[in-house]
Amino acid sequence: MATWNSRGLRGSALENQLNLTNDKYLQNHLALIQKIPTPITPINIDKQTHHITLAYFDQKSTVDYIGSVQGIPVCFDAKECHTDTFPLANIHEHQVRFMREWERQDGIAFILISFTHRNEFYYLTMAKLNEFWERAQEGGRKSFRIEELEEEYFIKAANEAFIPYLEYLQKDLNARVDKDC
């Protein structure tokens, strides 16, 4: 069974930014997106700070965020990457299955990647994720390089706390409509 240790705080800056972004979207009645907590069972708790120092995951998580944007069901996962190469091992097979099923139900699924060393964010469409995933399943690269990504989905941050991903969700929707025409 998977366990959690102090490394569990990785991504907390990204999570904080997304939570602030989602709060702003809610205040402006643009979206209702909620963080989905991963259920854990504590094993060790620091007696002084009352922080969990060791735990195991009760079950596999699906994605980090689920909600609705103007009536469209949306789910996404947030990932951090510290190099120009993103290992697909950072995305679990059960997450890809979940996101594919989400899309079969007419929802929109995507991955939001923070390239921390570049201070850039990227909206990875489900179509592009499927392309990389299938390549790996067929024996190809088990990662993708930043040069393989579509330039128009690099998110231009509004400020240090706000990640305007809804603009890129709209680009994703427009591309889907154009493809269907």
- For the chain, the first-to-last Cα distance in angstroms comes to 46
46 in a labelled binding site? no
17 in a labelled binding site? no
The amino acid sitting at 63 is V
62 in a labelled binding site? yes
Residue 155's SS3 state is strand
Token pair recorded at residue 76: 């996404």
95 in a labelled binding site? yes
What CA–CA distances, in Å, run from 75 to 5, 97, 143? 26, 13, 22
Give yes or no for a contact between 174 and 32, defined as CB atoms under 8 angstroms apart.
Answer: no
The 8-class DSSP code of residue 9 comes to G
Annotated binding site for Mg(2+): which residue ranges?
62, 64, 77, 95
Annotated binding site: which residue ranges?
62, 64, 77, 95
